[in-house]
Structure 1
Amino acid sequence: MDWLIGPFEVSFVRHALWATILVSLICALAGTWVVLRGLAFLGDAMSHGMLPGVALASLLGGSLVLGALVAAVAMAAGVTALGRSPRLSQDTGIGLLFAGMLSLGVIIVSHSQSFAVDLTGFLFGDVLAVRGRELGYLVAALLVAGLVSVVGHRMFVALAFDPRKARTLGLRPRLAHALMLGLVTLAIVASFHVVGTLLVFGLLVAPPAAIALWATRIPVIMLGAALLGIGAAVTGLLVSWHLGTAAGATITAVAVSMFFVSASASRLRGHR
């Protein structure tokens, strides 16, 4: 019991636990639609596309979260605009913006001699350094994500399964797509300073993908993804504490491992 409870008696580990629980809930809401619509590449591109905004904010002494938000919104707007071109596939537009934004971020970083530590935090996060104020931001982000998920649920379902049918029903698929991008953007921006941009992608995709192999209803996928994310947070923090590994990376590794266990079990069930 001391092995299980002891680490969470330390204040910064408790803050890290609450932060990762909140991130797991936010990523469950957004990640379900990422998995169902096959937007994993978009999530990866948007998480890396925030680098120019974060780099500029760091160099100018501004808020990293605000810089990330501005860059992510610009990325989402660019994806939406390029996606309307009949001559370009959505993946092409995402790839172009991904390469362009990442290149711009590296150029900005190259002008600073003291940005290496900040860049490491941007990529890998620092979940053990979360403070009470940041927990408040995550709670606010969760409330907004929940509101968008409830209000846009019917539009998101129609868009995920048949955009033409959504248009016929008057559910405005373009607006639904923009809201969905906004939801993904919110999840990434709210989570990057906790687990980092390279690792938030794992929490955004792995838990919903693991549950989608078993569940047949969208609310069940969301609930299951949230529970798996919380389980990964608790397990990852315990492993990180006792083995001395990076907390954010360990949490994400546990989440991805859960997916492979789920996929293996699903395949065995199919054979039987």
Structure 2
Amino acid sequence: MLLDPFAHDFMQRALIGGSLVAVVCGVVGTWVVIRGMAFLGEAIGHGMLPGVALATLLGLPVVLGGAASAVVMSATIGTLHRRGRLSYDTAIGLLFVAMLSLGVIIVSHSGSFATDATVMLFGDVLALRAGDITMLAIALAVTLVLAAAFHRAFVASAFDPRVAHVLGLRPALAQGVLVGLVTLAVVASYQAVGSLLVIGLLLAPAVAAGQWTRRIPTTMALAALLGVGAVLLGLLVSWHAGTAAGSTIAFSAVMLAALSAASAALLTRVRRQVPASGAAHGAPVLATSDRKA
């Protein structure tokens, strides 16, 4: 009875599409956490709104409108940072507010403001179609190829851009590709969780995975797996409890991150107590630092 919802075609598409989004966000979100780019991801998510609003009013595909708007947002942030006197965070903050406001202004002229705004902000994963799943599969393939091709450059740039430059890894190009991947992940996640909650799928699974592994590829794989679990759990809870699917998926991801952090803290406490207990009884103690992955 628990899995009965997936007997319906639209729930199957939601699970497949949501899982593809989770894998994309697991890969990109790991770098977002490592590089501290959460604010950028949130800003790009809101930067999609004007393009989505215009596409809605003109009857064009909303994903294309959102993608165009997100690309403009990313490019403008880079331009303001390079040529202006604004810091990176300041440029992001100003454009964040400008794009969000412009999106709401555009949508407010629509006759179905409430419905359009709800879909834009919170997504509609249950409305995924076969064409949407194909686009998500392509987005995943592009993400995996670029993440693999620029892995060394991403790692070197994360620790010291100067060293990356000396090694010929072109940190400026790597940063541009990484921003592009964040943009792609945000656009891909739009239909599933909307522009307001996309940061949940980008951050929460990666944060949860980071509690258990220190190797970047392993963290990506675990984050993707946890993201898929959040999608499955969110869809089931949404079906049986009658809640909004996208919001429930995002909330499930955050709850998995909280549970992971609590479990890791509990395990660390137990490990500290066991050696202390063994030393008190004269038993040999093996330092946890001696254990290698």
Name the TM-score, length of structure 2 as normaliser.
0.89
Structure 2: stretches of 5+ with no match in the other structure: 273-293
User: 2:240, 2:109 → 1: CA distance?
Assistant: 39
- Residue 166 of structure 2 corresponds to residue 164 of structure 1: no
- Structure 2 residue aligned with 1:241: 239
Selected match of 1:263 from 250, 261, 264: 261
For 1:219, the aligned partner's letter is: P
- Structure 1 residue aligned with 2:22: 24
- Structure 1 residue aligned with 2:43: 45
**Offset of residue 253 of structure 1:** 0.8
- Structure 2 residue aligned with 1:9: 7
Q: Are 2:156 and 2:164, in contact at CA under 8 Å, matched by a contact in 1? A: yes
User: 1:254, 1:41 → 2: CA distance?
Assistant: 21
Please give the secondary structure, in 2, of the residue aligned with 1:108.
helix
Please give the secondary structure, in 1, of the residue aligned with 2:36.
coil
User: 1:201, 1:128 → 2: CA distance?
Assistant: 19
The count of corresponding residues between Structure 1 and Structure 2 is 270
**Offset of residue 116 of structure 1:** 2.4
- Structure 1 residue aligned with 2:87: 89
CA deviations 1:200-245 (Å, max 9, x no partner) are 2111110001111221100011000011011111111111111111
* Higher alpha-carbon deviation: 110-119 or 181-190: 110-119
Q: How does 1:138-177 map to 2 (within 5 A)?
A: 138-177=136-175
**Offset of residue 173 of structure 1:** 1.0
Name the TM-score, length of structure 1 as normaliser.
0.95
CA deviations 1:34-91 (Å, max 9, x no partner) are 0000000110011001111111111111111111011100111112222325843211
- Structure 2 residue aligned with 1:33: 31
- Structure 2 residue aligned with 1:116: 114
Selected match of 2:201 from 203, 218, 231: 203
Q: How does 1:97-116 map to 2 (within 5 A)?
A: 97-116=95-114
- Following TM superposition, the consecutive aligned residue runs of length 4 or more in structure 1 with deviations greater than 4 angstroms are none
Selected match of 2:251 from 250, 253, 270: 253
Change (3 A) 1:219 1:178: same
User: 1:89, 1:173 → 2: CA distance?
Assistant: 19
User: 1:81, 1:166 → 2: CA distance?
Assistant: 22
Change (3 A) 1:266 1:29: same
Please give the secondary structure, in 2, of the residue aligned with 1:196.
helix
User: 1:99, 1:172 → 2: CA distance?
Assistant: 32
User: 1:10, 1:59 → 2: CA distance?
Assistant: 31
User: 2:66, 2:241 → 1: CA distance?
Assistant: 32
- Residue 59 of structure 2 corresponds to residue 61 of structure 1: yes
User: 2:216, 2:36 → 1: CA distance?
Assistant: 15
- Of all paired residues, the percent bearing the same amino acid is 56
User: 1:250, 1:194 → 2: CA distance?
Assistant: 11
For 1:125, the aligned partner's letter is: G
Please give the secondary structure, in 1, of the residue aligned with 2:110.
coil
Q: CA RMSD for the aligned pairs?
A: 1.4
